[in-house]
Structure 1
Amino acid sequence: KTQWMLTRAEQSEQGRRLQSSDGRWNVKQVKRYLRQVDRFLTLLMVCVHMTSGQPGRGSEVTTMRHQNGLLQDRNIFVMDGQVMTVVRYHKSQSQWDKPKVVPRFLPPRLGQVMVMYLAYLQPFQEYLTV
């Protein structure tokens, strides 16, 4: 998917703005683009927070992971074509000695936006920041 985004950046007028005339990345424009992606991600997070059932705690929403890490599993999944987030609610942990697992399904259109972000924008963003 990153290769597809690189090709689009080379071929589209908007993508060519990210490059200088000699084909190198224009650092100023790349930073501007990355700020726009961060703004988009903020809006996406607000939409997830507001539309997928009872709003979660801030720490639950801001610690979403789309891939497994060394110490934590991902908590964004696709199940039967629907995007689902799974958070672990820790307030009751002291009572039951384990966190409560809370699955939430995103509305279909928001799920599509999330998948498009994870498939195209996130890898390209990661490529540009390296």
Structure 2
Amino acid sequence: MPNILPYMHDLAVEKNRGVIFLDFTKNLNFREKVQFEYQNCIPRKEFIAWLEEQQIKFSPAVFNDNGYRGELYIDIPYDLDHPTYKIFAEHIEYDDGTLKIEGINFYYLSLEHAREMQKEFQLLMEELDSD
């Protein structure tokens, strides 16, 4: 049976908060992104090992309709005072907010934007169903 991955916007709505996630295609051109094999991505493997070591929950999730490219939803709130977020942020970012790890993009999806994305996706699905 195939894996059925959630969309980031659905996770945000389900959690009733904005969500943070990582993408591992930084600095890749379009062709490289299309051919990207996330299973072989060393920074992704190393980051997953670190998350597991820190016992930080995460899961694969899809951000957009371009397919799954190894994105990881990180199950901690975007709260600068949250103790687990502090550990996460210290590992991934310098004090000025630039990323420490080459090849990683770090994103925040607000609950408001997630709700908009969910509505757009539902409308698209309804259009496809009516055809």
User: Using CA pairs below 8 Å that are at least 6 residues apart, which structure has the higher relative contact order?
Assistant: 2
Q: Please identify the structure whose Cα radius of gyration is greater.
A: 1
> In proportion to residue count, which structure has more helix?
1
TM-score (norm. length: structure 2): 0.28
